[in-house]
């Protein structure tokens, strides 16, 4: 009921001014242009996640962590390949608390696995990278506060600091940081944004707002981005949500990433990061990021 009330309020605010929901940190209803996928694009790469294991000719579930300069500790938890499953035509990335640390190769990282929350990521780094086109996944999002799932793109050029995103930009097609937004009661939303010039002092991040999807923690929705030489255009279920050319558009190929992360630091889940709220996933409980497919299209 509260979500419906907020939706009506957002619709009124968007009628008055499309910018008001963002200014008030409210999710907005996608109201932009229609994608017209089949008219403009052709499919060039996909994974429908058939079978019972990850297709390692397309994705890397472990070495990519090293390739992209990450270790096993990821914010308030750990990334581990044992949290990845393929079943019933879906990729499933699980998140749960492990009292007994999982074992595995950390590829020379000094960080070690310990007790805490475990989840995972997969990336096409070193296998398939793309420049320009339309990139989409269809997914059900994990049900827990204090964590988020994401579909995003990046390359090593993101770390270059030169007041430009042209060498590489982290493109966050979506992040599910609002499972249960207690304050506004409007949790059925995701957010999008970009980052460039590394993640230290030179870092620049551009948030593009929060956007309602259709019951995204229970039902499949599609999340996509159109990347061309001029701008990034973001979509939910084929309807535009936002666009930007901030920093200059990346001119280099980038890999695809599907991941879950736990809010916190140094493997300890304690933080309320980006409005996620504290972690609500109790010991013995499991949250799942369920991905039906990932598809890559290029312009006809």
Residue 246 placed within a domain: yes
Supply the CATH number for residue 239's domain.
Answer: 2.60.120.200
Assess contact for 227 and 249: CB atoms under 8 A: yes
Residue 118 placed within a domain: yes
Assess contact for 113 and 78: CB atoms under 8 A: yes
First to last CA, the chain: 44
Residue 15 placed within a domain: no
Residue 14 placed within a domain: no
Taking the C-alpha atoms of residue 120 and residue 142, their distance in angstroms, rounded to an integer, is 13
- pLDDT for the residue 8: 61
Residue 18 placed within a domain: no
Residue 10 placed within a domain: no
- pLDDT for the residue 10: 53
Structure tokens at 7: 């939706």
- pLDDT for the residue 107: 77
Within a 13 Å sphere around the CA of 76, how many CA atoms are in the beta-carbon half? 22
- pLDDT for the residue 110: 84
Indicate the number of domains in the chain.
1
Task: List, for the chain, all residue ranges whose pLDDT scores fall below the cut of 50.
Answer: none
> In Å, how far from its chain's centre is CA 82?
20
Taking the C-alpha atoms of residue 261 and residue 278, their distance in angstroms, rounded to an integer, is 13
What is the model's pTM?
A: 0.91
CB contact set of 8 (below 8 Å; sequence gap of 6+): none
Residue 27 placed within a domain: no
Whole-number CA gyration radius for the chain: 18
Give the residue numbers spanning the domain of 52.
32-299
Taking the C-alpha atoms of residue 49 and residue 240, their distance in angstroms, rounded to an integer, is 26
Residue 142 placed within a domain: yes
- pLDDT for the residue 68: 74
């Amino acid at each position: 009921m509260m979500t419906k009330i907020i939706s009506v309020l957002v619709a009124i605010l968007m009628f008055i001014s499309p910018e008001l929901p963002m200014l008030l940190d409210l999710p907005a209803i996608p109201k932009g242009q229609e994608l017209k996928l089949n008219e403009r694009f052709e499919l060039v790469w996909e994974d429908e996640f058939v079978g019972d294991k990850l297709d390692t000719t397309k994705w890397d579930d472990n070495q990519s962590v090293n390739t992209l300069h990450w270790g096993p500790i990821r914010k308030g938890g750990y990334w581990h390949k044992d949290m990845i499953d393929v079943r019933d035509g879906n990729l499933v990335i699980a998140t749960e608390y492990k009292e007994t640390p999982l074992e595995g190769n950390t590829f020379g990282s000094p960080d070690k696995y310990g007790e805490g929350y475990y989840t995972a990521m997969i990336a096409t780094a070193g296998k398939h990278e793309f420049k320009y086109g339309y990139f989409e996944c269809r997914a059900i999002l994990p049900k827990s506060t204090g964590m988020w799932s994401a579909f995003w793109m990046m390359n090593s050029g993101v770390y270059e600091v030169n007041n430009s995103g042209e060498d590489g930009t982290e493109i966050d097609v979506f992040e599910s940081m609002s499972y249960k937004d207690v304050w506004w009661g409007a949790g059925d939303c995701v957010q999008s944004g970009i980052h460039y010039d590394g993640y230290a002092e030179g870092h620049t991040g551009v948030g593009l707002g929060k956007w309602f999807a259709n019951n995204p923690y229970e039902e499949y929705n599609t999340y996509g981005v159109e990347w061309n030489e001029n701008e990034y255009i973001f979509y939910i279920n084929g309807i535009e949500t936002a666009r930007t050319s901030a920093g200059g558009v990346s001119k280099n190929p980038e890999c695809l990433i599907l991941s879950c992360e736990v809010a916190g630091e140094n493997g300890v889940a304690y933080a309320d990061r980006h409005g996620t709220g504290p972690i609500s996933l109790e010991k013995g409980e499991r949250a799942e990021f369920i991905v039906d497919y990932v598809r890559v299209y290029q312009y006809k």
